[in-house]
Structure 1
Amino acid sequence: MRYIVIGAGAVGGTIGARLHQGGHDVLLVARGAHYEALRRDGLRLITPESSETLDVPTADGPVPTRDDDVLVLATKSQDTIAALAPWSPDLPVVCAQNGVANERMVLRRFERVYGVCVWLPAQIPAPGVVAAHARPYSGMLHVGRYPQGVDDLSEQIVTDLGKHGLLARTSPDVMRWKYGKLLGNLNNAVEALIGHAPGQVELVESARSEARAVLERAGIAYATPDDEAEVRGDKVVARPIDGIGRGGGSSWQSLARASGSIEADYLNGEIVLLGREHGVPTPVNETLRREANRYAREKLPPGSMPPETLRALIDERSAAGSR
C-alpha cells in the first residue's frame, strides 16, 4: 500500500516522514519552495530528540496512481476541493485535517472517506524542514470511517501509522473527537489576531462557551478535555527544540506567511453555520471569523490587533444582534 500525502506541510510532512520511517511506501505532494527543497535535499525531520534527513519521493502535483494507493489529505480546509480535484475518486481519502466539514465535502465525490482527529504540534521553520515538537510521540491520531464505524482499511491505516513515532487508534466515533478538537481550534483565530495578549484566555473561553451551546442545541456529541487527557496522557507533550522557536498555531502561521487565506470559515465559521441553522446567536465566533478573514485578505501581520479592539467589535456585533 502506498500513502500519497497531499499537502506535505507541518502535519502532512510529519505523518509522511513517520510512515516512511516505518518502512511504508510514501509519496509527498507539496508545492513552491517547500517542494523544491524536498525534491533537492530530502525531508529534514527535527524532533526534540533528533534530526534526520529522509529521502522520501516527492511530487508537485498528480501522479499515475495504483489500486493500492491511499490519499492522505493534510491541506487546510479551504484547499480541500482544489487539492483533490485531479485525483481518482476510486481511491480512499484520509482527511488528516482540522474542522469537521472536510469529510462531508469529500464524500460527495469519493466513496471511501476516513476522518482523522489530529493531535500533532508541528511547524515548517524553513522550506524542506519539518519540526515536530511533541515527545515521546510526535502525535496521536484517531482514525475512523466516515460518517462512522471502523473497517479493515482503517485498522490497517492505524497499524501502519503506529509503527514509528506516532500513536494511532481506531475510533468508530471519530467525528465526536473531531468536534472536540474543533472546540480547541476556536483559539486559532484569537491567537492569530491578538497573539498572547492580555484577555486572550477570556476571549477564547467566550468563543468556546458559545460553541458548546450551539453543539448542545444541535445534538452533536463532542469529546471533552477530560476525554482527551485520559487518552493522550503524557504520550504527546510539546517540547522545545534547540534553535527553533515555536511560532503560533496554524492560523498564526497562515498570517505569518501572508498566504492570503485562513481556515477560519471552517473553524469559527462552522459554529456560526450551526448557530444559524439552530437559532443560536454566535457573535463571538462570527467576529473572529470575519476579522481573521480580513487579516488574511489584507495580509496583515499576526498578533497585531489590540485586544480591546477585538473585544469592542464583538460587543458591537452582540449589541446589533440583540436589536
Structure 2
Amino acid sequence: MRIAVIGAGALGSTFCCLLAEQGHDVVVTVRGAALPAVLADGIRLTGGYGERFARPVAVERLVDSYDLALVCTKAQDAAAAITENAALLNGTPVIVVQNGLDGVATAQRLLPRSECLGLITIIAAHYEGPGRVRVTTAALSYLGRGDGPADTVTRRWQAVLHAAMPTLAVDNFVGAQWTKLVVNMLNALPAITGLSVQEVIGCASLRRLLTRSMRETVRVGLASEVRFGTLQGLSHRRLRVFALAPLWAGQILPLSMRARMGTVPNQGSTLQSLARGQRTEIDFLNGAVMRAGAAAGVAVPVNALLTELVHEVERSGRFLAPAEVLARFR
C-alpha cells in the first residue's frame, strides 16, 4: 500500500518506521535542513519498539497519489500542511494524528472529498534529531471519527494500522479526544519549567497545579455535555468523580499516570517543541480548554495562566523555577 506521512517529527518518524516494516511503500514530507539528513541516512527508531530502521522516500511536499495519508504535524501547522498538499490529498483517506479537538474537522473542511479520521496515540516519543527518534513509552493508539459507533471505514483502517502498532477502533471518538485532552494537561508545566513530566508530578506543589488544570478540563467537558471516552483506564465515570473529588484526592490521577510512564524521562511534546526552537501547540491544548470554557460559561483561570506562561517562555527562551511559577498563581 502507498502511504504518505506528512511530518517527520517524533510521531511521524515513528509511524514511518513501523509502517515500512509491514512492507508499505512509505513517503514522508520533511522540511528544511532535516530533508537532506533523512535522504542520506533514513529514519532510525530506538526505545520502546526496539531498534528499527527505514528508508522511506523523503520529499518536501507530496508529488503523487496515495492509498492513505497520515497527518502528523503539530496542531498549529496542520492547516498549512494539508492545504499545501490538498491537490493530491483531496479524495484520499486521511488519518489525523494530533492533540487537541480540531484536527479531524480541519482536515474535513480542507479535503471535502476525503474520508477523514482521527488517531489518538498514547505513544511517547522523543525527537533526537532528523531521522532519529527514541520511543520512551510504547502504547496503544485509538482510531475513530464522530461521536457514534466505530464504522466499517474505521475498522478497515484500524486493521492496517494494527498490523504495524497496537491500534483500537473506538466508539465516541470525540469523547476520546476530550479524555486525551485531559492527559495532555501534562504538557504545559514541563514546557514552563524545563522539568520532565515525572519531575513535575513528583513536585507536590506543581502536582497540585497540574491536578487543578485537569479538573478544569473535565468540568468544561461536562458542562459541554461531552461523554468522555475510555482511554488508559480513564472513563467518563472516573473523570466525573475526579472533577468532584477534593484536590488532595484528585492528585491520585497524575500519580497513577507517572507510574505508567516508567523511569525514562518524558519531556512531553510541548517542551520538545521549545527545545527545537519551534512554536508550541499550547493554544490547541490548554488553549482549547479556554475556548470551550468560554463557550460553556465555565471559568478556567489555571489553564488561562498556564497558556500565558508557555507563551512567555516561547518569547523569552527562559524557563521558570517552580517557586516562580507558583508565585504567579497567588
Normalised by the length of structure 2, the TM-score is 0.82
Checking the alignment, whether the CA contact within 8 Å between 2:274 and 2:314 is kept in structure 1 is: yes
AA matched with 2:120: C
1:92 paired to 2:93: yes
Aligned to 2:79: 81
- How much does 1:11 deviate? 0.8
AA matched with 2:226: I
Q: Considering fraction of residues, name the structure with more helix.
A: 2
The 5 Å alignment of 1:25-64 reads: 25-48=25-48, 50-64=50-64
1:297 paired to 2:300: no
Q: Bigger CA drift: 8-17 or 50-59? A: 50-59
- How much does 1:74 deviate? 0.8
Equivalent-residue separation in structure 2 for 1:50 and 1:267 (angstroms): 30
Checking the alignment, whether the CA contact within 8 Å between 1:254 and 1:296 is kept in structure 2 is: no
- How much does 1:201 deviate? 0.8
Helix, strand or coil: the match of 1:115? Answer: strand
Equivalent-residue separation in structure 1 for 2:149 and 2:40 (angstroms): 41
Q: Alpha carbon RMSD of aligned pairs, Å?
A: 2.3
Counterpart of 1:276 (choices 294, 301, 316) is: 294
Aligned to 1:265: 283
- How much does 1:192 deviate? 0.9
Equivalent-residue separation in structure 1 for 2:65 and 2:230 (angstroms): 39
- How much does 1:268 deviate? 0.3
Aligned to 2:239: none
Percent identity among equivalent residues?
27
Equivalent-residue separation in structure 2 for 1:162 and 1:55 (angstroms): 21
Aligned to 1:318: none
Aligned to 1:288: 306
Give CA-to-partner distance per residue, 1:275-296, whole Å, 9 cap, x none: 1111111110000111112222
Q: Bigger CA drift: 105-114 or 285-294? A: 105-114
Number of residue pairs aligned between Structure 1 and Structure 2:
295
5+ residue gaps, structure 2, are 236-259
1:4 paired to 2:19: no
Counterpart of 2:132 (choices 126, 129, 144) is: 129
| Alpha carbons of structure 1 residues 188 and 278: separation in structure 2 relative to 1, 3 Å | same
Normalised by the length of structure 1, the TM-score is 0.84
Equivalent-residue separation in structure 2 for 1:106 and 1:254 (angstroms): 22
- How much does 1:33 deviate? 3.2
Give CA-to-partner distance per residue, 1:20-73, whole Å, 9 cap, x none: 11112211112223322211111111134632332221112121224xx32201
Aligned to 2:22: 22
Checking the alignment, whether the CA contact within 8 Å between 1:255 and 1:296 is kept in structure 2 is: yes
Helix, strand or coil: the match of 1:108? Answer: helix
Aligned to 1:201: 207
Aligned to 1:221: 227
Give CA-to-partner distance per residue, 1:137-174, whole Å, 9 cap, x none: x331111134644344322221111213x101111312
Helix, strand or coil: the match of 2:16? Answer: helix
Q: Bigger CA drift: 73-82 or 197-206? A: 197-206
Aligned to 2:246: none
Helix, strand or coil: the match of 2:166? Answer: strand
Checking the alignment, whether the CA contact within 8 Å between 1:44 and 1:130 is kept in structure 2 is: yes
Helix, strand or coil: the match of 1:44? Answer: strand
| Alpha carbons of structure 1 residues 30 and 239: separation in structure 2 relative to 1, 3 Å | farther
5+ residue gaps, structure 1, are 230-236, 316-323
Checking the alignment, whether the CA contact within 8 Å between 1:44 and 1:129 is kept in structure 2 is: yes
Equivalent-residue separation in structure 1 for 2:157 and 2:127 (angstroms): 25
Aligned to 1:321: none
Q: Bigger CA drift: 304-313 or 144-153? A: 144-153
Checking the alignment, whether the CA contact within 8 Å between 1:48 and 1:239 is kept in structure 2 is: no
Helix, strand or coil: the match of 1:215? Answer: helix
Give CA-to-partner distance per residue, 1:159-206, whole Å, 9 cap, x none: 111213x10111131222111110011120111112235322111101
